[in-house]
Amino acid sequence: MEADLAHLLARPVTRRQSLRWLGAGVGTAVMPLAGCGGGSADDGYGISTSTTTTGSGTSGGTVGGNAVCSVIPEETGGPYPADGTNRNANGVANALTLSGIVRGDIRASVGGASGVAQGVPLVIRLKIENVLQGCAAAGGAAVYLWHCTREGGYSMYSNGIVDENYLRGVQEADSDGWVTFTTIFPGCYDGRMPHVHFEVYPSLAKANSAANRIKTSQFAFPLATLIDAYASSGYANSVRNLG
């Protein structure tokens, strides 16, 4: 895991291949995972993002910085997107069509499910901008965001939580391009640095099918922030996997 993080820190930041790295320095930045391909200003709907996360571990903390306009890189959505592109034990998995999925607080399940994800509170703010319009705020765009539980499982897929849909949600960007999600720190499962997936859609009305998505990407967290969060109860497996 430390080697993976070191690789991320060593990667050059380019306008075409990275999310903006935030914080006073690279060591305290929210970072994209190693990419599977670069975004391009020729995508037809140029979108960039800035990301701020606020979490409270044993001492709490904030990671943030000044906005820089750059194209979102295209990243894998992983095997647990629940955007209608694959199946779970119940059939086609599509959280985008669930009643109540458009929300800011994604810690509880919706659509008749009643589970609530436990963990260290985390607020994620993403700013979506239109690169093709001089980095103007992309108000009205929509973001679908999801990540794993503190135990490392994914709602709608993992054993015991196939019928839950927490830690997934959709938000419409406000007039300044911001979306905000209240959630919990994702756990660290074997083989991956802790990360958050998201998809960008041109509008809330079109955020009901992966066929309409503009971008799929993800970001990770600085090691110091993870160590602080994982000092809390319930993250013992994450501490072992992170080490």
**pLDDT for the residue 191:** 86
* Confidence band of 231 (pLDDT split at 50, 70, 90): very high
How confident is the model at residue 130, as a pLDDT? 87
Which among 16, 117, 21 has a CA at the least distance from the CA of 71?
16
In this model, does residue 192 exceed pLDDT 70? yes
Interval 129-177: pLDDT, tens = 888 888 889 999 999 999 999 999 999 999 999 999 999 999 999 999 9
The yes-or-no verdict on residue 29 having pLDDT over 80 is no
Give the mean model confidence (pLDDT) for residues 55-77.
Answer: 59
Spatial contact of 47 and 71, defined as CB atoms under 8 Å apart: yes
C-beta of residue 20 within 8 angstroms of C-beta of residue 72: no
What are the residues whose beta carbons fall under 8 Å from the beta carbon of 5, sequence distance 6 or more? 193, 223
**What is the structure's pLDDT at 31?**
31
CA 100, CA 177: separation in Å to the nearest integer? 22
Lowest mean pLDDT, pick from 16-25, 79-88, 209-218: 16-25
Set out the domains of the chain in order of their start, with CATH numbers: 2-242 (2.60.130.10)
∠3-126-192 over CA atoms, to 5°? 25
pLDDT computed for residue 131 by the predictor: 84
> 123 φ, ψ to 5°?
-115, 125
Percentage of the chain modeled with pLDDT above 70:
72
Out of 39-43, 49-53, 129-133, least confident range: 39-43
Distance (Å, whole) CA 71 – CA 210: 20
Does the pLDDT value for residue 225 go beyond 80? yes
Strand, coil or helix: 83 = strand
Find where tokens 């998505």 sit: 213
Reported confidence tier of residue 68, pLDDT bands at 50, 70, 90? low
User: Which residues contact residue 55 at a Cβ distance below 8 angstroms, ignoring those fewer than 6 apart?
Assistant: 61, 120, 121, 122, 123, 185, 225, 228, 229
Mean pLDDT score of the chain, rounded to an integer? 78
CA atoms of 4 and 158, how far apart (whole Å): 25
pLDDT recorded at residue 10: 35
| Per-residue pLDDT at 116 exceeds 60 | yes
Q: Helices (DSSP H) in 60-175: which residue ranges?
A: none
Percentage of the chain exceeding pLDDT 90: 63
Give residue 97's pLDDT band: very low, low, confident or very high (50, 70, 90).
Answer: very high
Beta bridge partners of 48: 71, 129
70-87 confidence digits (pLDDT tens): 788 899 999 999 999 999
7 band by pLDDT with thresholds 50, 70 and 90: very low
Q: What is the mean pLDDT of residues 236-243?
A: 92
Distances (CA, A) of 111 to 108, 168, 169, 201: 10, 12, 12, 22
